[in-house]
Chain A
Amino acid sequence: MKFAVVVFPGSNCDRDMYHAVREVLQEEADLVWHESGNLQDYDAILLPGGFSYGDYLRSGAVAAVSDIMDQVKRQAAQGKPVLGVCNGFQVLLESGLLPGAMLPNEKLAFMCHQETLKVANNRTMFTTEYNQGETVQFPIAHGEGNYYCDDKTKAKLEANDQIVFTYQNNPNGSTGAIAGIVNEQGNVLGMMPHPERASEAIIGSADGIRLFQSLVKNWREAHVVNV
């Protein structure tokens, strides 16, 4: 399986994502510079964390209107897996691929530490390697991770089972303690916690690698005959 890690000016978790996929997961991956890539050549698209375009204007707002996001939208519409982590999630929200918006953290400060998450939906292509309701350790590192959506949207997310991860101790004030959501089709996941930073026990947690393993397994089952 071949992953594209999209690199915007100011992305800073791009190499971490690449490392997790190449060295830990042992799958193919390329760092794809926002101006030069053809995303059709890849089986999954990863939007990494960081401060794309300095997060000037609003987090993710400038990246959301960059040319490569047109490609991301086309690929997403065809059902290709798209994962946005942290700033990548903010880009997905700003580009309209996922509903809702980000507010500054409730405490108005950047925060970075391990958080306990609950797997709220283990039936997505990103989470089949987790148990429903399982708690996992992922780090967070953000200043604007306070997910907001109105009641109607929240009801819709709940009805469609689009809430994938929730925080056990809501650190940032997110609506419904939401940490990650998928689109209605289930192939676009946005989340504030960092699975790539939870990919090896030596750096604090290996719980995140199963997210990537879920993707690979589901992709293989759908695409590879004679396994």
Chain B
Amino acid sequence: MLSTSEMTPETIEQEKLYLELGLSEAEYQHVKQILKRRPNFTETGIFSVMWSEHCSYKTSKPLLKKFPSTAPHVLQGPGEGAGVIDIGDGLAAVFKIESHNHPSAVEPYQGAATGVGGIIRDVFSMGARPVALMNSLRFGNPGTGNVNHLFQEVVRGIAGYGNCVGIPTVGGEVQFDASYEDNPLVNAMCVGIIRHEDLQKGIASGAGNTVMYAGAPTGRDGIHGATFASGDLTEDSDKDRPSVQVGDPFMEKLLIEACLEAIQSDALVGMQDMGAAGLTSSASEMASKAGTGMTMNLDLVPQREANMSAYELMLSESQERMLLVVQNGREQEMVDIFAKYGLEAAAVGEVTEDTSFRLLQHGSVVADIPVDALAEEAPVYHMPSKEAAYVRAFRQMDDFIPEVRDHGATLKQLLQQPTIASKEYVYDQYDSMVQTNTVVTPGSDAAVIRMKGTDKALAITTDCNSRYLYLDPEVGGKIAVAEAARNIVCSGAKPLGLTDGLNYGNPTNPEVFWQMEKSVEGMSTAANMLKTPVISGNVSLYNQSNGKSIYPTPVVGMVGLATSLHHITPSFFQESGDLVYVIGGTQPEFGGSALQKLVSGHYEGKAPSIDLQVEADRQHKLLQAIQTGLIQSAHDLSEGGLAVAMAESVFAGNKLGAEADVAGDATVALFSETQSRFLVTVKPEHRKAFETMLTDAVHIGHVTDNNKLIVRINGTTTIDEDVSTLHQLWKGAIPCMLNRKA
């Protein structure tokens, strides 16, 4: 390879070096038109990262427009560091989810750790104090390939970063399926709380104002990470390990405190995290949003290594850095605030009136690009879309009921499926309690954190059953949103909004693009119906390895509001004698079910159907019943159906059991995954009031104190198991799988 100095604009064109950097032929020609000359090496690098899928959303943008993103309570929709919703009392919740899949595939500890660091910065760059972390993880089946290593290191990475910065990791979800074997998904979500008046934006307004660089110095790590994340993982992806950044959570903690202090100063005009594409994207986006230009002198950028080129400085993804715009003449105030925390804040440039993005190094101009060309005018592609042939075949398949001989034994097997089994191994490694707000700790339908000084609480969940999306992306997309909302409602809160973490395969494959298109349509329909606008999100494409695409996995991170702490409802059974109800009827729906996987080893057929009007009505009525004080516990029915939900409800270690009588086919009644159903318990004295309110609730039994789970189907005892035995199997499954291969 040529040295940087030899890469003249002419050689870049002649040798087509731009292709190596990720710009297509047409994109390179477009760059030439914009600049009216050939771009130099630094400029070529800047265009290639800013126009990468990761930064520009060039293939997903047309789809993202379909999401409903406005509502009276949405204070900030997509486009800033994170979305913001009003939660009353002058407070707002700030949240976003982001993926770090490719880095985690090649370097799981640092990949996951820096994913957490990045999403935290997105939230506090808005001025909000981060109050909770969540995550959504996908791995191959434990024990296969490199899965155990990836799983253990990702969890350790999330813990290592989140625990140190002092933000509780309050919950999340982990699912296992062969389609993620080489390409795990690591999506991290952060929630912050802010007073409306402190809301901060990433804008570089006011010509003459000073651009300041704060935080860790820039090194040669993570160069071109955004481009790496915008291509397929291949066998030699290991060579991309230098594209993975290394995180320093201690630095992040100092940066959080310094930035939250800086926000209190009116000298601060705007602030943005240096995330993907580092200095390039933060600087150009801040200027583009403000309609201004920016000049930066790269000699003034704090540097960790000697002789860094302009290209390296602009494309480095060194962690724990922020870009600030500060009123001219008040730079010292910022320097002092950051110095208190041992951090450097350096003036590196100024906001200009013209709209060009100009970089100087060693006294000469090393890049001069119209700002809008990088952000606003990035190319947009409308990819060809084609209905996936397998989905058409699946839709033609008849409903079926898997053959089950011993329902008790089947329940035991289901409880040990890694996707269903207890995730205590995972969440015990997370500090879920720091900040002393965690009312509902990990392991419930949704995590709940109170807001000190109010009687309110936030409920947070991440959800996505990608097996349904694989069978039918549109229906699966609806279910993903509906299930998230179900979890929020079960915890006693009203769903307010969501952030989407869209993970798919290679979008140049028309069938993959069709999956994207259909799942976004399904999610949009559900988000409209359930009044949960999409206020922020992230797209991760090219998730495939060795030619195999992952299941479409649009993770839903949802936040809801409990208007009183009294509404917070546990998902476990509470008291012996309480009546057990199932809300919603059951059909034989086994496509994509846990039972189908157990019996046949694969997924096929129709996804469970969903009627969003029924869903919305039930959620509304259940929340009403909770707010009226009629509900002792509420749990949604999901993977493994009623039998698994009942078992989970008696795993609180309080020696309770349950007895139920259900009619119909035993396999359907126990294991079908029909949507929009809830398992709730009610005190006997509330029976009448509850049944009047929820007319489609069926009384199936009661909570007992004998630590046994008994279910009779049409009068015949079909399940009769000791709760402690079931609990042991459920709790021990994941540690057991890890030890076996350790």
A16 in contact with B436 given A54-B164, A113-B428 (CB within 8 Å)? yes
Interface code B328-344, partner A: CB below 8 Å = 1, 0 otherwise? 00000000000011100
> Binary interface profile of A, 202-216, with partner B (CB < 8 Å = 1, else 0)?
111000000000000
Q: Does A141 contact B (CB under 8 A)?
A: yes
B280 on interface, CB distance cutoff 8 Å:
no
Q: Does A50 count as interface, using CB distance less than 8 angstroms?
A: yes
Interface residues in B58-100 by Cβ distance below 8 A to A read none
Nearest CB of chain B from residue A63's CB, rounded to whole Å: 12
Q: For residue B342, which residues in chain A have a CB less than 8 angstroms away from its CB?
A: 9
B-contacting 9-mer, from A69-77, A104-112, A123-131, A152-160? A104-112
> B390 contacts the other chain (Cβ, under 8 Å)?
no
CA distance A54 to B452 in the complex (A): 27
Q: How far is the CA of A104 from the CA of B452 in the complex (A)?
A: 33
A19 with B452: CB separation less than 8 A? yes
Residues of A within 8 A of B549 (CB): none
**Residues in chain B near residue A12, CB distance under 8 A:** 164-166, 253, 434
Interface size class of B (residues with CB under 8 A): 20 to 34
The answer to whether A10 and B565 have CB atoms under 8 Å apart is: no
Given A13-B166, A54-B248, A203:B438 Cβ within 8 A:
yes
**Cβ-closest chain A residue relative to B441:** A204
Nearest CB on A from B164, distance (A): 4
A141 in contact with B253 given A50-B166, A113-B428 (CB within 8 Å)? no
Least Cβ–Cβ distance between A217 and chain B, in angstroms: 23
Q: How far is the CA of A49 from the CA of B164 in the complex (A)?
A: 10
Interface: B163 (CB within 8 A)? yes
Interface: A197 (CB within 8 A): yes
Report if B254 contacts A (CB, 8 A). yes
Shortest beta-carbon distance from A170 to chain B in Å: 16
Q: Are A53 and B250 in contact (CB under 8 A)?
A: yes
Q: Which of B257-305 contact A (CB under 8 A)?
A: none
B569 → A minimal CB distance (Å): 14
* Residues in B neighbouring A3, C-beta threshold 8 A: none
Asked whether B450 lies within 8 Å of A10 as measured between CB atoms, the reply is no
Contact partner, A16, options B165, B248, B435, Cβ 8 Å: B435
Q: How far is the CA of A200 from the CA of B565 in the complex (A)?
A: 13
Identity of the chain A residue whose Cβ is nearest the Cβ of B162 in the assembled complex = A110
Closest to A112 in B: B431
Interface centre among B428, B430, B433, B441 (most CB of A within 10 A): B433
Q: Is B159 an interface residue (CB 8 A)?
A: yes
Residue of A nearest to B163 (CB): A110
Most buried by A among B164, B251, B254, B439: B164
Q: B432: which A residues are within 8 A, CB to CB?
A: 112
- Whether A9 contacts B438 in the complex (CB less than 8 A), given A54-B248, A112-B428, comes out as no
**In the complex, chain B residues whose CB is within 8 Å of the CB of A197:** 433-434, 436
Max count, chain B CB within 10 A of own CB: residue among A49, A50, A53: A50
Nearest chain A CB to B634 CB, angstrom units: 19
Question: B170 → chain A, closest Cβ, in Å?
Answer: 11
**Residues A110 and B431 in contact in the complex (CB < 8 Å), given A10-B250, A50-B166, A51-B250:** yes
CB distance from B41 to the nearest CB of A (A): 37
CA distance A16 to B437 in the complex (A): 9
Minimum distance in angstroms from B303 CB to a CB of chain A: 22
- Does B431 lie within 8 Å of A141, measured CB to CB? yes
If the complex has contacts A15-B435, A51-B253, A141-B434, are A23 and B452 also in contact, measured as CB distance less than 8 A? yes
In whole angstroms, what is the CA distance A139 to B437 when docked?
13
Q: B728: CB under 8 A from chain A?
A: no
CA of A54 to CA of B164 in the docked complex: distance in angstroms? 7
A203 to B432 CA separation, bound complex (whole angstroms) = 11
Asked whether any CB of chain A lies closer than 8 Å to the CB of B429, the reply is: yes
Q: In the complex, which residue of chain B has the Cβ closest to the Cβ of A199?
A: B436
Residues of the A chain whose Cβ atoms lie less than 8 Å from the Cβ of B164? 10, 12, 51, 54-55
Minimum CB–CB distance from B491 to chain A (whole Å) comes to 14
Is the CB of B249 closer than 8 A to any CB of chain A?
yes
A18 to B130, CA, bound (A): 18
- Near A by CB (< 8 A), chain B positions 402-432 give 428-432
Q: How far is the CA of A180 from the CA of B432 in the complex (A)?
A: 22
State A23–B341 Cα separation when bound (angstroms). 27
Given A112-B431, A203-B433, CB of A9 within 8 Å of CB of B254: yes
What is the CA–CA distance of A187 and B565 in the complex, to the nearest angstrom? 38
In the complex, residue of chain B having the shortest beta-carbon distance to the beta carbon of A194: B433
Assuming the contacts A51-B250, A202-B565, asked whether A112 and B166 have C-beta atoms less than 8 A apart, the reply is no
A141-B433 CB under 8 A given contacts A10-B250, A23-B452, A112-B428: yes
A164 at the interface (CB under 8 A from B): no
A20 close to B (CB within 8 Å): yes
Q: How far is the CA of A33 from the CA of B342 in the complex (A)?
A: 13
Contacts A16-B436, A199-B436 known; A141 to B249 CB distance under 8 Å? no
**Neighbouring B residues of A143 by C-beta, 8 Å:** 163
What is the CB-to-nearest-CB distance from A3 to chain B, in angstroms, rounded to a whole number? 16
Q: Mark A2-30, 1 if CB is under 8 A from B, else 0.
A: 00000001101101100110010000000
The B-contacting residues of A in range 185-227, CB under 8 angstroms, are 194, 196-197, 199-200, 202-204
Residues on A with C-beta less than 8 A from B251 are 54
Bound Cα distance from A10 to B434, whole angstroms: 13
Could you tell me if B429 and A203 are in contact, using CB atoms closer than 8 angstroms?
no
Q: Are B163 and A13 in contact (CB under 8 A)?
A: no
Q: How far is the CA of A197 from the CA of B251 in the complex (A)?
A: 25
> With A and B bound together, what is the CA distance between A10 and B156 in angstroms?
19
Pick from B163, B436, B437: contact of A196, CB below 8 A. Answer: B436
State the CA gap A10–B163 with chains docked (Å).
Answer: 11
Q: With A and B bound together, what is the CA distance between A204 and B444 in angstroms?
A: 14
Complex contact B341–A51 (CB within 8 A): no
| A51-B249, A54-B250 known; A111-B436 Cβ under 8 A | no
Please, how many angstroms separate the alpha-carbon atoms of A83 and B575 in the complex?
A: 39
Nearest CB in chain A: distance from B457 CB, A = 9
- A204 partner residues in chain B, CB cutoff 8 A: 433, 438, 441
Residue numbers in B under 8 Å from A19 (CB-CB): 436, 452
In the complex, which of the residues A9, A56, A199 has the most CB atoms of chain B within 10 Å of its own CB atom?
Answer: A9
Interface residues of B in 431-472 (CB under 8 A from A): 431-439, 441, 450, 452
Q: How far is the CB of A182 from chain B (nearest CB, A)?
A: 24
Nearest CB on A from B429, distance (A): 5
CA distance A50 to B452 in the complex (A): 20
Q: Are A54 and B249 in contact (CB under 8 A)?
A: yes
Q: Which residue of A lies closest to B342 (CB)?
A: A9
CA distance A54 to B435 in the complex (A): 18
List the B side residues contacting A54 at CB < 8 Å: 164, 248-251
Contacts of A55 in B (CB 8 A): 164, 250
Indicate if the CB atoms of B433 and A112 lie closer than 8 Å: yes
Q: State in angstroms the CA–CA spacing of A50 and B167 once bound together.
A: 11
- CA of A91 to CA of B275, assembled, Å: 34
Cross-chain contact A9 with B435 (CB below 8 angstroms): no
Q: How long is the Cα–Cα vector from A65 to B165 in the complex, in angstroms?
A: 22
Cα A106 to Cα B342 in complex, Å, equals 34
Instruction: For chain B, residues 333 to 381, give those with C-beta under 8 angstroms from any C-beta of chain A.
Output: 340-342
Which residues from A are CB-within-8-Å of B165?
12
In the complex, chain A residues 35-86 whose Cβ is within 8 Å of any chain B Cβ? 35, 49-51, 53-56
Instruction: Verify A203–B436 contact, CB threshold 8 A.
Output: yes
Q: In the complex, how many angstroms separate the beta carbon of A146 from the nearest chain B beta carbon?
A: 16
Q: Which of A50, A111, A203 contacts B428 (CB 8 A)?
A: A111
Instruction: Write out the residue numbers on chain B whose beta carbons fall within 8 Å of the beta carbon of A56.
Output: 250
Q: List 14 A-B contacts (CB under 8 A).
A: A9-B250, A13-B166, A16-B435, A51-B253, A53-B250, A54-B248, A111-B428, A112-B428, A141-B431, A200-B436, A203-B433, A203-B437, A203-B438, A204-B438
Q: What 8 pairs across the A-B complex have the smallest Cβ distances?
A: A12-B166, A54-B250, A51-B164, A16-B436, A141-B431, A112-B431, A110-B429, A110-B159
Q: Which residues of A contact B (CB under 8 A)?
A: 9-10, 12-13, 15-16, 19-20, 23, 33, 35, 49-51, 53-56, 109-113, 139, 141, 143, 194, 196-197, 199-200, 202-204
Sample of 7 more A-B contacts, CB < 8 Å, known A112-B431, A197-B434, A203-B439? A12-B165, A12-B253, A53-B250, A54-B251, A109-B159, A139-B433, A141-B431
